[in-house]
Amino acid sequence: ILGVRDIHADHAASHIGKAQGIVTCLRATPYHSTRQKVFLPMDICMLHGVSQEDFIRGKQEKNVRDVVYDIASQAHMHLEHVR
């Protein structure tokens, strides 16, 4: 954008884009869950003992919140990397 040619700017933009994508996925989870779809990483869900069905049913137990927290932490790590 704007003709900026800098490897550091490209690197920062890459991490910002990853963080934005993760946050967008998290924000869209309730919408997708109502349509019987879950697009969250299953390895993180399995780590906390959460199934796709837990999201589809709208459960809000601690382990479901832990999944959301871990995924949001990934976005935060990308933003910290940019800083």
Residue 2 has pLDDT above 80, yes or no: no
Query: Which tens digits make up the pLDDT trace of 11-64?
Result: 899 999 999 999 999 999 999 999 999 999 999 999 999 999 999 999 999 999
- What's the pLDDT at 58? 94
Euclidean distance between CA atoms 27 and 29, whole angstroms: 6
**Cα-Cα end-to-end distance for the chain:** 20
- Which residue's entry shows tokens 């832990």? 66
- The count of other CB atoms within 10 Å of the CB of residue 56 is 15
User: What pTM, to 2 d.p., does this model score?
Assistant: 0.85
Query: Which tens digits make up the pLDDT trace of 64-79?
Result: 999 999 999 999 999 9
Predicted confidence band at 5 (pLDDT cuts at 50, 70, 90)?
Answer: confident
